[in-house]
Structure formats: C-alpha cells, structure tokens
Amino acid sequence: MTVTLPPPSSQFQERRTLLYQPGLKRNRFNRICNAIAATFALIAILPLFLVLFYVLIQGGRLISPRLFTELPPAPGLSGGGIGNAILGTILVTVIATAISVPVGVGGGVYLAEYSSRGWFAQFVRFGNDVLAGVPSIISGVFIYGLIVATRFFFDQSYSAMAGGIALAVLMLPTVIKTTDEGLKLVPQELRWGAYGVGASRFVTITRITLPAALTPIATGVVLAIARAAGETAPLIFTALFSPFWPEGVFNPIATMSVLIYNFAIMPYEAQNELAWAASFVLVILILAANLLARWISHLTKA
C-alpha cells in the first residue's frame, strides 16, 4: 500500500519558508515593540542622570572644609556650613538604628525560628507588610501625638529622640522582613547539627543560625539605614530644626534632610546653595551605603 502525498504546491512552500522575513507584519510589530521598550528604559534611567548631574555640579562646587565645620548663616547672610546638620543626621540615624535593629532582629528571629507557620507569625507578617506601607509622614504624626505633644521626655517637646523613634518605626518593617527571610534561607541541617551536639535553642540561634544569616540581614539593615538617613517627612515636626550645634538628644536638632527642605523654599541664594551642598553630602552617603549593601550581598554569593 502506498501513501499518496498531495503534490507540493509552490504557493505553500513559499509561504512556509523558515527564513526570517523582516517584512512580515509580526516581525515589524516585534521591532516596533523592541524600540518602544528600549525608549522606555532610557526614559526610566534619564532622571537618575539628570538628578545626579545637578546635585554633583551644584553641590560639588560648594564642598569645602567650612561646609563641615560651620553653622548655617542667618537668613540674608552668606557663607557658613552644614556641620550641625551632618552631626544631627548621624545622631538621629544612630538612635533609629539602635532601636529598630534589636527589635527587628528579635522579631524576625521569632517569626523564622519559633513560629514560622503559626497564626501569630502570619498575623505579625501581615501587620509588618501593613506597617511597611504606612506613609512616612504618618509616622511623624504618630510620634508627634505620642511623644512631642505629650512632652514625654523630661517635658521636652521636639527632640532628636522623637525624630529617631519616628525613623525607627519606618526602619522596623525592613529589618524584620530581612531577618525573617534571611533566617529561612539557613539550611535546616545546621540547626539539627547544633541540637545534635547538645546546644540549647538559645545557643543554636545566637551562635549558629544568626551568624549564618548575617549577610542578608546586614544588607537589609544597611539599606534601611540609607533610607532612614534621607527621610524628611517624619522629622519635620518631631526633630524639628535647629540653627545651633546639637544640644543633646532631648532638644530639637538639625538634620540634612530637613535642612534641604527648609532652605530650598527660602528666597535666599546662600540658603539655596547650602541645600544643594547638603544634597550632595546626603546623596553621596546614601549611594555609598547602597553600593556597600550590594557588595555585602555579593560576599557570600561569590
């Protein structure tokens, strides 16, 4: 029995060639879409270059030793520096880190090590995601209502402490989440090994699992610090501002971010220039922290 194939039609063969045909409608559509995607990607990275360019040019030319050692000038006068604001940003960020890292790492340890699938852990994870979505200005309003308006610390209203706590509220979700997820990546065998040689749960967590998850946790913490250092909204009415050097943690304090906000909207040239200079310092610090975080996270991958 023979199978009779239909005679090959020339039209059929022509239409089904396997060669790439640039003129086909779908290939033209493909090229148009490629071009659109490339254009969108260009537009997306354009603002980074424009912002960095202006911050580096406008702020960079003002960099001098005075900038770091002097106080901002009174309105109308020129010269001066942002020394108090740099110190203030460091102080407020340190307070925020000192509060949020122990609390966040502890909370993350509970989620990952003690109750990974329990209802309470699920509830805390949900709450953590909600807290991460709370606008930063709300954190400022919260601390204003809780600490500033009630004069919680030694009858002081605005204070560096209040600002630091407001930033800690913003950092906490990031620290908890990175700890939780970092610990989940630690192989279960490490824990079994520790229990096997007779280690207690406390020793296992503090000596085995936490060190093993150090890299992702450190990455998350550095990113959270970088974000907190640039936050302004929670500080405007908690840490407020001060034209003087920091006078302890229970007094109002200047920070670079609030300085940028205050000085950008002043009608004085000298203040506007200091705002650019503060932006320069802040952006360099934050970009350096981000690159540091990337470097940390690459340490173990390599």
The piece of 69-77, 78-86, 201-209, 245-253 that touches other proteins (CB under 8 A) is 201-209
Instruction: Show the binding pattern over residues 207-246: x = contacts other proteins (CB under 8 A), - = does not.
Output: -------------------xx-xxxxx--xx--x------
Instruction: Show the binding pattern over residues 94-123: x = contacts other proteins (CB under 8 A), - = does not.
Output: --------xxx-xxxxxx-xx-----xx-x
Among positions 21, 27, 64, 78, the unique one binding other proteins when judged by CB under 8 A: 27
The piece of 62-70, 74-82, 243-251, 282-290 that touches other proteins (CB under 8 A) is 282-290
Among positions 85, 86, 161, 169, the unique one binding other proteins when judged by CB under 8 A: 169
Of 240-259, which residues contact other proteins (CB under 8 A)? 240, 257
Q: Is 175 in the site for other proteins (CB under 8 A)?
A: no
User: CA torsion sign, 301 to 206 to 109 to 90?
Assistant: negative
Q: Which is nearer to other proteins, 2 or 133 (CB)?
A: 133
CB atoms within 10 A of CB 203: 12
Q: Which is nearer to other proteins, 2 or 20 (CB)?
A: 20
Q: Which is nearer to other proteins, 3 or 291 (CB)?
A: 291
